[in-house]
Structure 1
Amino acid sequence: MNDQRIAVLTDTGTNTPADFCEAHDVRDIPLVVNYADGSYRSGVDITTDEVIDRFATEIPTTSLPSPADIQAALEAARTDGYERAVLVTISSGLSATCQTAELVARQMEGFPVTVVDTKSIGVAAGLVVMAAVEMIEAGVPFEELGPRLADLSEHTRVYFTVRELKYLRHGGRINEATYRLGSALNIKPVFYCDAEGKYATVKKARGWEKALAAELAFVQEQAKRYERVVCAVCCTKAEDRLDELTAKIRETIPNVVDVVRSGISPDLIVHTGASLVGMAVQPCWR
């Protein structure tokens, strides 16, 4: 527990690295993966590999944590001795998790909660979670955390691409025209989260390797805007490029101070398929 007794909670869609969560008592609130035979808490009742293995027979859907689940997580933090909390969520433009968290936070009597909408997803949102922990441990006052993390979120960027577009289409993240054109011409869109926190295409690359190169180029260009940056890479075992991309980031971005590496949660893999590779960049907050 940190000296300020401020708990940090997040949802599983932020893909905050598990070892960091364990070391700093960051508490995950699981999103839900829904199959015909039942619903499973992401990362608790079902793993990413299990979702991938079941793709051959069913592409599931996802749903957000219930208000009761969020309240239970906050109450558990209070029981464990925390006096306030910061709850960092994936983009409100992609999930109603943030809005639900805000509703629950307003109902918590005697336990102030600041909800942070990262306007992003995956490991980029995880970088905001990690920054929240660092700010709290550095002594940033509770009242300043919300505004400072909101500002940092605006400058945090995620870029990702996938080999197969059918999962994004199935989840309603891209339209039919984008799916058909991309599949027919081997076009791999590179996506990012726009100002509203929704998926948008930043580039259309012909082929997988060119798409990955475009991702890296966008991270490099974004990094030039700041004195120092933290970068991140995420992928699954099916497309393991962690070592390669980590090395390229360190070699080509002279102002990077750290490269965070992460897997991808079951709830996110539902919408992307097994071939997702993502990168993120964030200015150092201090």
Structure 2
Amino acid sequence: MIPQKIALLTDSCADLSPRLAEENHIYRVPLRILCADGEYSDGVDIFGGDIYTRLRAGELPQTSLPSGEDIEKTLRQIVMDGYDGVIAVMLSSGLSGTYNLVRLIGEECRGMLPVKVYDSLSGSLGMGMTLLQLAEDIRGGMEWEELTERRVPQLIAGSHPFFSVDTLEYLMKGGRIGKVTATAGTLLQIKPIITFAPDGQLQSVAKVRGRSQVMDKLVAMAVKACGEHKRYNLAVANGGAPAEMETVRQRLMTALPDYDHIWEGEIDGTLSVYIGDGVLGAAVQVLD
């Protein structure tokens, strides 16, 4: 049977606000964060701001996959809510085993309903804007076959997130440094601009000096990735830097004024463990 009522599923690293997730009927499973005083569920009882406080106090939390029980429970809830198919877009396999875990559990649950699971090869902005665009496509009547065979792969391939971190310390300590080679110089205020490599690992694509140049470079990278495309979505995100994110948003809208949507997000607890605060991000997603 071809699913007619389609649900969307993701994890807590998609950085969708509770309002956006609820309005677009997007289900989420939380990654787990292991702290000195116990285990927490990302986006449920621990958030980015809590992680920054712990990092500044010298604590280095650890992250863990969602529980299989949470994933199965969420899939059962989707069935109870009347859906007959699920499209899941999960955190990059280059950073986490979440995608593979959800894929395996989805295969086990095929008797309940069809579950198509995708590796976003991204995180935060890239995941969030893919899910929000898919929600719009579903509302517009796009059907299962077109969504799963053409649209989801197109959106994943067409999403280009860029972000800056204040320090590479936590990426190195957490073993998520990937292909990031730029040196963040504290005294010289050298900041790397990071994106996702084709295999879903992090890689540095530029380095600039100072926060103002960071904002300019994020916008310039998004403009370059957009190229000659005429239809696109935009997104911005921050981790502990909301005022600067607003500056990036204004500059991005000025540089690429013909967007279909512009969305914003706040970096989740899981990713904050590895990138710390002072994070700024900008993204473009081409649609044509």
- The TM-score with structure 1 as length reference comes to 0.92
Partner of 1:121: 123
Partner of 1:85: 86
Q: Which amino acid aligns with 2:124?
A: G
Partner of 1:164: 167
Partner of 1:17: 17
Distance in 1, Cα, partners of 2:46 & 2:207: 33
Is 2:272 the counterpart of 1:280?
A: no
Partner of 2:208: 205
Distance in 2, Cα, partners of 1:170 & 1:239: 26
Native 8 Å contact 1:223 1:255 kept in 2: no
Q: Which amino acid aligns with 2:133?
A: A
Structure 1 residue 189: Cα displacement: 0.9
Give the alignment partner of residue 132 of structure 1, picking from 131, 134, 145.
134
Native 8 Å contact 2:6 2:84 kept in 1: yes
Structure 1 residue 250: Cα displacement: 1.3
Distance in 1, Cα, partners of 2:147 & 2:68: 23
Distance in 2, Cα, partners of 1:223 & 1:9: 27
Unaligned runs of 5+ in 1: none
Distance in 2, Cα, partners of 1:119 & 1:155: 11
Structure 1 residue 93: Cα displacement: 1.3
Worse-matched range after superposition: 245-254 or 274-283: 245-254
Distance in 2, Cα, partners of 1:15 & 1:44: 12
Distance in 1, Cα, partners of 2:86 & 2:138: 10
Distance in 1, Cα, partners of 2:202 & 2:47: 24
Q: Which amino acid aligns with 2:214?
A: A
Structure 1 residue 45: Cα displacement: 1.5
Distance in 2, Cα, partners of 1:206 & 1:251: 23
Q: Which amino acid aligns with 1:100?
A: L
Structure 1 residue 238: Cα displacement: 4.0
Structure 1 residue 144: Cα displacement: 2.3
Native 8 Å contact 2:12 2:31 kept in 1: yes
- The TM-score with structure 2 as length reference comes to 0.91
Partner of 1:100: 101
Unaligned runs of 5+ in 2: none
Structure 1 residue 259: Cα displacement: 1.5
Native 8 Å contact 1:4 1:139 kept in 2: no
Give the alignment partner of residue 190 of structure 1, picking from 188, 193, 199.
193
Native 8 Å contact 2:182 2:204 kept in 1: no
Is 2:223 the counterpart of 1:220?
A: yes
Which deviations, in whole Å up to 9, do the C-alpha atoms of 1:58-97 show, x marking residues without a partner? 1211111122221111111111211111111111111111
Moved over 6 A (4+): none
Distance in 1, Cα, partners of 2:104 & 2:145: 19
Partner of 1:53: 53
Structure 1 residue 206: Cα displacement: 2.4
Partner of 1:75: 76
Structure 1 residue 9: Cα displacement: 1.1
Which deviations, in whole Å up to 9, do the C-alpha atoms of 1:193-236 show, x marking residues without a partner? 01111101101212332222111100011122311111100013
Structure 1 residue 170: Cα displacement: 1.6
Identity %: 31
Distance in 2, Cα, partners of 1:174 & 1:186: 19
Structure 1 residue 185: Cα displacement: 4.4
Distance in 1, Cα, partners of 2:59 & 2:124: 23
Worse-matched range after superposition: 178-187 or 197-206: 178-187
Is 2:160 the counterpart of 1:154?
A: no
Q: Which amino acid aligns with 1:215?
A: L
Tell me the SS of whatever aligns to 2:260.
strand
- Size of the alignment, in residue pairs? 283
Distance in 1, Cα, partners of 2:64 & 2:212: 32
Distance in 2, Cα, partners of 1:29 & 1:215: 30
Is 2:43 the counterpart of 1:43?
A: yes
Native 8 Å contact 1:233 1:245 kept in 2: yes
